[in-house]
């Protein structure tokens, strides 16, 4: 009983607390690869604190949609944090829903962000919203098919079951590799990293995600920034705990959780570093080249599902 109260709180705390650090880590490592010293590892926390202390400026054109969006986005991501196995493969609240619910909860946040991008009546917001929707729509089929592959391998769409089954999965399954590769491309597109979107850009015409949130300030911006770094961490967590679940705690003992947490940090760090390498070695591709990239991801996921059915 205690576990069903402690563990969800622990999950939220880890995701909420750790997500700015992941962002800071990526920024720091990228700076290092470019032979710069870079900002502090904790800079994203300072930014959030600063933003939370400020008042917000709201456009007089904007409506209640604009003011509701930060909360909707933040809370929908928090809810996802309850459903994803982070430290233990057993998620006490897994009866709430499965991975398909998670995908559609991401869609809920995106829906409101895209609406509020149109709300202020500026030209850049709509540009960001329109591009974000185009990219995420293109990513959706590949994402769904790779999730199908994993779910069918395990026989469940519930993330708890997926993690605990794959933990004891002995054979090497080619379809899982293909699904993994496809999902990596999708996650890069969904979280707006290079080569799909450049999170550091300050040129309005190249912005996608940043263009959508251009009009937000103060607390609103803090919530949205935090939500987007949580989204990155959550997607990495899903990737890590689905395909590399080794070492994750299966019962709720203190030492088990500590080991699990340490391994989790290592794995997330590894993937964050992979993103750093990727971002440092590629340039952002042109907007209308992105469908090709996502098409590749889709083909990989189709191959994954085909090989699943042919092998099994």
Residue range at the interface with another protein (CB under 8 A); choices 27-35, 104-112, 181-189, 272-280: 104-112
Q: Is 90 helix (H, G, I), strand (E, B) or coil?
A: coil
Contact 240, 273 (CB under 8 A): no
Give the Cβ contact number of residue 239 at 10 Å.
18
- Tell which positions 191-230 bind another protein, by CB under 8 A: 215, 218-219, 223
Instruction: Kindly state the smallest distance separating residue 38's Cβ from another protein, in Å.
Output: 29
Out of 75, 252, 278, 285, the only residue in the binding site for another protein (CB under 8 A) is 75
Q: Which of 6, 107, 262, 274 binds another protein (CB under 8 A)?
A: 107
Query: Any idea which residue has 């006490």 for tokens?
Result: 92
CB of residue 16 to another protein, shortest distance in Å: 10
Q: Treating both helix axes as pointing N-terminal to C-terminal, what angle do 218-243 and 2-33 enclose, rounded to 10 degrees?
A: 100
Q: Which of residues 108, 259, 265, 278 is near another protein by CB under 8 A? A: 108
Cα 80 to its chain centre, rounded Å, is: 10
Q: Which of residues 136-155 bind another protein (CB under 8 A)?
A: 136-138, 140-145, 148, 151-152, 155
Among 22, 69, 98, 183, binds another protein (CB under 8 A): 98
β partners of residue 88: 249
**Residue position matching structure tokens 């300050």:** 202
Determine if 114 is a binding residue for another protein (CB under 8 A). yes
Give whichever of 41 and 58 is closer to another protein, judged by the CB atom.
Answer: 58
- Pairwise CA distance, residues 228 & 254, whole Å: 30
Closest CA to 33 of 277, 282, 283, 198: 277
User: Residue 111 or residue 273: which is nearer to another protein going by CB?
Assistant: 111
- Quickly tell me which residue has 């949580």 as its tokens: 230
- Positions 21 through 60 that interact with another protein (CB under 8 A): 52-53, 55-60
């Amino acid at each position: 009983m205690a576990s069903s109260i402690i563990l969800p709180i622990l999950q939220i705390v880890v995701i909420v607390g750790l997500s700015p650090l992941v962002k800071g880590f990526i920024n720091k490592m990228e700076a290092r690869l470019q032979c710069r010293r870079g900002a502090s590892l904790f800079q994203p926390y300072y930014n959030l604190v600063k933003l939370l202390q400020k008042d917000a400026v709201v456009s007089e054109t904007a409506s209640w949609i604009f003011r509701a969006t930060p909360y909707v986005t933040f809370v929908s991501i928090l809810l996802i944090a309850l459903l994803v196995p982070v430290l233990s493969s057993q998620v006490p609240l897994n009866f709430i829903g499965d991975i398909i619910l998670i995908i559609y909860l991401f869609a809920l946040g995106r829906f409101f962000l895209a609406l509020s991008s149109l709300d202020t009546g500026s030209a850049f917001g709509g540009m960001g919203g329109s591009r974000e929707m185009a990219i995420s729509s293109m990513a959706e089929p590949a994402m769904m098919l790779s999730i199908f592959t994993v779910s069918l391998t395990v026989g469940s769409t519930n993330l708890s079951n997926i993690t605990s089954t794959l933990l004891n999965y002995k054979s090497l399954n080619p379809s899982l590799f293909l699904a993994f590769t496809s999902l990596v491309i999708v996650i890069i597109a969904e979280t707006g990293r290079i080569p799909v979107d450049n999170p550091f850009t300050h040129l309005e015409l190249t912005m996608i995600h940043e263009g959508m949130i251009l009009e937000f300030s103060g607390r609103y911006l803090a919530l949205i920034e935090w939500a987007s770094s949580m989204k990155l961490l959550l997607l990495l967590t899903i990737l890590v705990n689905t395909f590399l679940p080794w070492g994750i705690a299966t019962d709720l003992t203190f030492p088990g959780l500590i080991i699990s947490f340490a391994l989790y940090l290592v794995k997330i760090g590894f993937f964050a570093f992979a993103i750093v390498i990727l971002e440092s070695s590629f340039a952002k591709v042109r907007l209308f080249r992105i469908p090709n990239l996502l098409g590749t991801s889709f083909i990989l996921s189709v191959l994954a599902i085909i090989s699943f059915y042919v092998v099994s």
